[in-house]
């Protein structure tokens, strides 16, 4: 008979308390990270001349704003009990936005606006919109953008890239729809990941088409009924069914609509006429959205493959940097070097999180590591904005 072990198992109650304490630490770390992420863009950076907008349940306060043409700064305060977003829209085009504004906190937004009338969203997507009137300004007239001649090559190549990737968006949506209609759950899961990649490549431009974005890529958190809301459509509704509900039930109409919506997106991307400002600011917006919303809230809430999606987003943003590089290497080499170093830092962080084995679920990444990635993305956005300024692209504004 072997001797009994001298190491005794802890009492069951002690084990229970240990598990509970670990869970509380994880939750506390996540909450602390979310609050730190929101405070990073809040009151500390607000200009004393910032236009104050408070988001209430169902409305903006005030609901109508007037500012002069040129650069304006807005301070958006969330007076509701849910994380919300605030956007400036020119028709269906998103001019500038702030997402994931936590309850009771605020964020600032700076935008260079031309004379005209704009719409503003007020929290949830279902809420009535407000208005923003931009009046003429002699100061704005004095800051006209430089000639586009130096950027013709970059713009032409980016147009080809958008058209090519837009065709892939539509084609992969059709493959996803086919797998769902065939009743192939595993095949649909694989097709879902393949469908997301080209969309994330073109997201800097696609996300500016507010109507299509709200149909193709809405987040349940911005809908009154969350996952049960009838406006919860597109990629994430399919993701919810495939990975959370583990079922194809009710997904065929959703995937069929996604096919139609991505075909419209393909056509809009092909017809888009962009300026160099749009390229630079698309990269800035994309990096800030990743830092403020993607890293804190995640972008793949049901499948958990956030790291794959971050890689795809970054590839689309790096494409913009690569196309601007020939002009920047001549006109702003120091600013370009800063951008390249900042993007390399983001790459290194993502590679470190992924590790050498199976890709981890993003929710398992410690809050300190996620905060580090968020900081790296903010630095990359700041350097890209400085590059835009150095190249004379609207002082880095929208």
How far apart are alpha carbons 251 and 244 in whole angstroms? 13
Give the residue, 212 or 138, on which the prediction is more confident: 212
Looking at the domain assignment, is residue 209 inside a domain? Answer: yes
Residue-level pLDDT at 100: 84
Q: Are residues 164 and 256 in the same domain?
A: yes
Q: Residue 61 belongs to what H/E stretch?
A: strand 59-61
Residue-level pLDDT at 394: 57
- Tell whether the model's pLDDT for residue 93 goes beyond 90: no
Out of 141, 158, 192, a domain closes at 141
- Tell whether the model's pLDDT for residue 21 goes beyond 60: no
Q: Where do the H-state alpha helices sit in the chain?
A: 12-40, 138-141, 152-181, 185-206, 210-216, 234-239, 252-271, 276-289, 295-297, 306-331, 333-354, 367-390
State pLDDT tens for residues 315-334: 999 999 999 999 999 888 99
- Domain count across the chain: 2
- Tell whether the model's pLDDT for residue 19 goes beyond 60: no
What lies within 8 Å, CB to CB, of 35 at 6+ separation is 102, 105
Structural contact between residues 132 and 71, judged by C-beta atoms closer than 8 angstroms: no
Instruction: Tell me what percent of the residues of the chain surpass a pLDDT of 70.
Output: 84
Residue-level pLDDT at 147: 52
State pLDDT tens for residues 43-90: 444 567 899 999 998 889 999 999 998 889 999 999 999 988 899 998
Q: Are residues 131 and 183 in the same domain?
A: no
Confidence band for 146, pLDDT divided at 50, 70 and 90: very low
Out of 246, 274, 302, a domain closes at 274
- Tell whether the model's pLDDT for residue 144 goes beyond 60: no
Residue among 362, 392, 375, 397 at smallest CA distance from 285:
397
- Tell whether the model's pLDDT for residue 142 goes beyond 70: no
Give the residue, 264 or 296, on which the prediction is more confident: 264
Q: Are residues 136 and 83 in the same domain?
A: yes
Structural contact between residues 86 and 109, judged by C-beta atoms closer than 8 angstroms: yes
Q: Are residues 106 and 224 in the same domain?
A: no
Q: Are residues 103 and 220 in the same domain?
A: no
What lies within 8 Å, CB to CB, of 61 at 6+ separation is 53, 54, 55, 79
- Tell whether the model's pLDDT for residue 273 goes beyond 70: yes
Looking at the domain assignment, is residue 314 inside a domain? Answer: no
Q: Are residues 204 and 223 in the same domain?
A: yes
Q: Are residues 257 and 149 in the same domain?
A: yes
- Which residue range is the domain that position 123 belongs to? 43-141
Q: Residue 131 belongs to what H/E stretch?
A: strand 130-135
Mean pLDDT rounded to a whole number for the chain:
86
CATH classification at residue 193: 1.20.1420.20
Q: How many CA atoms lie within 13 A of 189 on its CB side?
A: 14
Q: Are residues 119 and 85 in the same domain?
A: yes
Cis previous bond, 62, omega within 30: yes
Most confidently modeled of 119-128, 173-182, 363-372, 382-391? Answer: 173-182
Residue-level pLDDT at 138: 67
Residue in this structure with the two tokens 């770390």, named with its chain if needed: 29
State pLDDT tens for residues 34-53: 444 444 444 444 567 899 99
């Amino acid at each position: 008979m072997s001797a009994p072990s001298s190491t005794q198992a802890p009492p069951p109650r002690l084990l229970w308390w240990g598990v509970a304490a670990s869970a509380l630490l994880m939750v506390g770390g996540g909450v602390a990270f979310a609050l730190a992420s929101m405070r990073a863009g809040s009151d500390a950076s607000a200009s004393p001349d910032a236009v104050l907008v408070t988001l209430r349940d169902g409305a903006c306060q005030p609901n109508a704003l007037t500012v002069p043409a040129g650069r304006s700064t807005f301070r958006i305060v969330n007076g509701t009990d849910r994380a919300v977003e605030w956007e400036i829209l020119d028709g269906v085009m998103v001019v500038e936005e702030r997402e994931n504004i936590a309850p009771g906190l605020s964020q600032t937004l700076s935008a260079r606006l031309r004379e005209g009338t704009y719409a503003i969203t007020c929290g949830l997507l279902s809420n009535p919109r407000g208005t923003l009137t931009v009046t003429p300004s002699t100061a704005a007239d004095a800051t006209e953008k430089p000639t586009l001649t130096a950027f013709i090559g970059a713009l032409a190549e980016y147009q080809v890239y958008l058209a090519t990737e837009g065709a892939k968006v539509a084609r992969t949506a059709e493959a996803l729809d086919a797998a769902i209609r065939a009743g192939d759950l595993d095949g649909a899961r694989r097709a879902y990941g393949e469908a997301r990649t080209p969309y994330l490549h073109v997201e800097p431009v696609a996300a500016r088409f507010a109507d299509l974005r709200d149909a193709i890529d809405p987040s349940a958190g911005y809908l009154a009924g969350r996952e049960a809301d009838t406006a919860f459509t597109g990629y994430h509704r399919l993701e919810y069914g495939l990975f959370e509900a583990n079922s194809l039930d009710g997904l065929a109409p959703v995937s069929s609509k996604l096919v139609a919506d991505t075909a419209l997106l393909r056509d809009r991307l092909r017809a888009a006429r962009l300026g160099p400002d749009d390229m630079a600011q698309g990269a800035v917006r994309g990096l800030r959205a990743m830092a403020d919303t993607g890293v804190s809230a995640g972008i793949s809430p049901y499948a958990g493959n956030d790291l794959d999606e971050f890689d795809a987003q970054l590839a689309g943003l790096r494409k913009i940097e690569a196309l601007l590089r020939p002009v920047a290497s001549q006109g702003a080499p120091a600013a370009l070097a800063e951008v390249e170093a900042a993007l390399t830092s983001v790459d290194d962080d993502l590679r470190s999180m992924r590790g050498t084995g199976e890709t981890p679920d993003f929710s398992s990444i410690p809050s300190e590591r996620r905060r580090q990635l968020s900081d790296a993305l903010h630095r990359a956005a700041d350097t890209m904005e400085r590059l835009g300024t150095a190249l004379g692209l609207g002082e880095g504004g929208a």
